Amino acid sequence: MPRRPRPTAPKPSRGKTGSAGTAGSSASEPSRVRPTPLRTAADVDADRTVVRVAGEVDHETSLQVRDALEAALDAALDGATRVPWLHVDLAEVTFCDSAGLNVLLIARRRALENDLRFTLNPSARVLQLLNLTGTTGLFPTHTDAPA
């Protein structure tokens, strides 16, 4: 008996302009617009370094957060200006996924390996992620960040 050919999925069109007006997009695939661009800032005083993060922390933006935390850790661990406490203020984070959690876990480990205190001020979204992943106990919280 002859074999019937398998049905194949339609091939995606390339370079065509969809209804949204961008190359390669279609009405069923709207381009994602990031409503809250990620912002990071760091403040240092004699007692602690505060890294502030605001916006969405996801696969695309987690590298920016990683870079900010690594720079803060490098500065805090500098022999001449060693600062004993790294505080990450996430109060204005509107979304955080596993990539963001991974960055926090790596920074926490590096801080603790170097005898630095590591605390978070999580937003409700970040706290929800910590609760869902069972990592809440790994991150002491502290809401008093310098202005």
DSSP state of 55: E
Give the percent of the chain with pLDDT over 90.
63
For strands 39-44 and 49-57, give the pairing: antiparallel
pLDDT digits 0-9 by tens, 5-32: 555 555 554 544 444 444 444 455 555 6
What SS3 class is residue 19? coil
- Higher-confidence residue of 64 and 45: namely 64
pLDDT digits 0-9 by tens, 91-133: 999 999 999 999 999 999 999 999 999 999 999 999 999 999 9
DSSP state of 46: S
Question: What's the CA gap between 51 and 40, in Å, rounded?
Answer: 7
What token pair was written down for 12? 């995606």
**Percent helix, strand and coil across the chain, each to the nearest 5:** 30, 25, 40
Mean of all residue pLDDT scores within the chain? 83
Amino acid at site 93: V
